[in-house]
Structure 1
Amino acid sequence: MHSEFIVEMNQHNFQQILEGSMTTPVVVYFWAPMSQESADLVPQMQQLAQNYAGAFTLALLNCEQEQQIAGQFGIQALPTIALFNQGQAVDGLGGPQPIQAIEAMLQKHLPSQDELNLQQALTLISEQKHTEALALLTTLPEELQNKGEIKLAKADCLLATGQFSDAEALLAHIPLEYQDNYYKGLLAKLELHAQAANSPEIQALESQLASDESNAKIANELALQYHEVNRSDEALALLWSFIAKDLGALDGEMKKTFMDVLSALGQENSTAKQYRRQLYSILY
């Protein structure tokens, strides 16, 4: 497995790799092909390094090929795992270990997977990659998601991806100490959306539909207008109220509008997921 987080340690680079622990912790994994147990664990160690996504560098040392280095480290058992930080060995394990024991050792010294996911999500937001950031934020445990700063980050992503009603619900429950300029900026975006999303055309269609509630043509036009101004949740609810009773409403035009809105929202949108399930339940 080739990765920027995984290196093969040898006579030429081992000093440089250990110096690298001044900035990023280094896990040296001493193994040898003749030790089946140590060889079997190599893929799991590589996967662990990938999961940690750069929180540490994995340095693999084949003790058969690099006997001199293994001798310098005084390796007695295979595998041996040594964790270096700031140029110093800070922890280690000797002899066959389950991967869980290695993970437990790393957790004492490295940020957790949730903390790494959070950091990555915040980086993605700064790069305007809100869809990917939102996917990561929703994987965090509930106690983290309830923190003020994470609610703000999530609301930012929801606004950027057009999920305004979800964003509004989150922003309504931000603790006072987090109601800073970031929070005020997100509220301003929500307010701008609300103003743009209530055009005279929409108001006129709403008025027409109120006086003729079963008019599928007006409802379809209003749903399209809602979708245009990112009120897609309302568009789907309105369309669903017709097609749930008659899938062929408006000669199939409403179902087509419904599918177009779902498609535009994408696979990860929570409202779209819910309506997809409801649609499948009447289709199959």
Structure 2
Amino acid sequence: MHSEFIVEMNQQNFQQILQGSMNTPVVVYFWAPMSQESADLVPQMQQLAQQYAGAFTLALLNCEQEQQIAAQFGIQALPTIALFDQGQAVDGLGGPQPIAAIEAMLQKHLPSQDELNLQKALALMSEQQYSEALTLLNGLEQELQDKGEVKLAKADCLLATAQFSDAEALLAHIPLEYQDNYYKGLIAKLELHAQASNSPEIQGLESQLANDSSNAKVANELALQYHAVNRSDEALEVLWSFIAKDLGVLDGELRKTFMDVLSALGQENLTAKQYRRQLYSILY
């Protein structure tokens, strides 16, 4: 398996690899083809390195080919696993091990998968890939999602993907100590959206619908206007109040608008998911 996280250690590069542990931890895996147990574990070690995605470098050392290095390390049993950090051996395991034992050792020294996903999400946000970042943030353990800095990152992604009501709900519960300039900037974006999305035309349609709550044509026009200014949650709410009672209202025009809004929001939008479920429940 070729990967930037996996290297073959040999006489020429082993000093350089260990020096690399000053920046990124290195796991040296001592194995040999003659030791079936150590050879069998190589693919699992490679898979583990891929999962950690750069949190450590896996250095594979074939002890049959590199007997001098194995002797330098005083290897007594295969496989042997040694974890180097800051140029020093900080932990290790000797003899056949289940992969779970190796994972447990790594967890003592390396970031958790959730912490790695959080770092990856923040990196995606810096590249303006907000939808992908939001998917990662939503997959974190609840304990991590409840942290102020993660809530702010999620709110940022929600604003960038036009999920304004969800962003507003999240920003309403930010602890005081996290109400910094980043928070204030997000609040300002939310307020700008609120101002821009409340045009006289929308206000007029809202007033008409309030006076004639059964007017499907006005409801459809209001929903289209809402959607145009990224108030899609409200668009869906207005449309659903009609099509939940009659899917064919206005010759199916409201249902079409409803489906168009769902489609524009995409598969990962939480509100869209909820309305899709509700639609399927009356369709089937």
Structure-1-length-normalised TM-score: 0.96
Query: 1:55 maps to what in 2?
Result: 55
Query: 2:122 maps to what in 1?
Result: 122
Q: Distance in 1 between matches of 2:161 and 2:78?
A: 50
Query: Which runs of 4 or more aligned residues in structure 1 lie more than 3 Å from their structure 2 counterparts after TM superposition?
Result: none
- For structure 2, the 5+ residue unaligned runs are none
Q: Which letter maps to 2:268?
A: E
Is 1:28 the counterpart of 2:28? The answer is yes
SS of the residue corresponding to residue 271 of structure 1 reads: helix
Provide the alpha-carbon RMSD of the alignment: 1.3
Q: Which letter maps to 1:197?
A: S
1:116 deviates by 1.4
Q: Which digits, 9 at most, give the CA deviation of each residue in 1:30-86, with x for residues without a partner?
A: 112222221221122112111111110011112222222222222111111011111
1:118 deviates by 1.5
SS of the residue corresponding to residue 78 of structure 1 reads: coil
Q: Which letter maps to 1:122?
A: L
Query: 1:217 maps to what in 2?
Result: 217
Q: Distance in 2 between matches of 1:70 and 1:90?
A: 18
1:225 deviates by 0.7
Equivalent runs, 1:272-283 vs 2, <5 Å: 272-283=272-283
Query: 2:134 maps to what in 1?
Result: 134
SS of the residue corresponding to residue 24 of structure 2 reads: coil
Q: Which letter maps to 1:36?
A: Q
Q: Distance in 2 between matches of 1:279 and 1:36?
A: 56
Structure-2-length-normalised TM-score: 0.96
SS of the residue corresponding to residue 58 of structure 1 reads: strand
Q: Distance in 2 between matches of 1:33 and 1:283?
A: 60
Mean alpha-carbon deviation: is it higher for 245-254 or for 98-107? 245-254
Q: Which letter maps to 1:104?
A: A
Q: Which digits, 9 at most, give the CA deviation of each residue in 1:109-138, with x for residues without a partner?
A: 111222212222222222222111111111
Q: Distance in 2 between matches of 1:40 and 1:216?
A: 66
Q: Distance in 1 between matches of 2:275 and 2:32?
A: 54
Query: 1:96 maps to what in 2?
Result: 96
Query: 2:248 maps to what in 1?
Result: 248
Q: Which letter maps to 2:152?
A: L
Q: Distance in 2 between matches of 1:270 and 1:39?
A: 45
Is 1:194 the counterpart of 2:209? The answer is no
Query: 1:236 maps to what in 2?
Result: 236
- For structure 1, the 5+ residue unaligned runs are none
Q: Distance in 2 between matches of 1:32 and 1:181?
A: 56
SS of the residue corresponding to residue 65 of structure 1 reads: coil
User: How many residues are aligned here?
Assistant: 284
Query: 1:150 maps to what in 2?
Result: 150
SS of the residue corresponding to residue 223 of structure 2 reads: helix
Q: Distance in 1 between matches of 2:106 and 2:277?
A: 41
Q: Distance in 1 between matches of 2:33 and 2:278?
A: 54
Q: Which letter maps to 1:202?
A: I
1:177 deviates by 1.3
Mean alpha-carbon deviation: is it higher for 4-13 or for 181-190? 4-13
Q: Distance in 1 between matches of 2:268 and 2:67?
A: 51
Q: Distance in 2 between matches of 1:240 and 1:35?
A: 65
Q: Distance in 2 between matches of 1:67 and 1:263?
A: 61
Percent of paired sites with the same residue: 88
Q: Distance in 2 between matches of 1:59 and 1:231?
A: 52
Q: Distance in 2 between matches of 1:144 and 1:250?
A: 46
Q: Which letter maps to 1:210?
A: A
Query: 1:172 maps to what in 2?
Result: 172
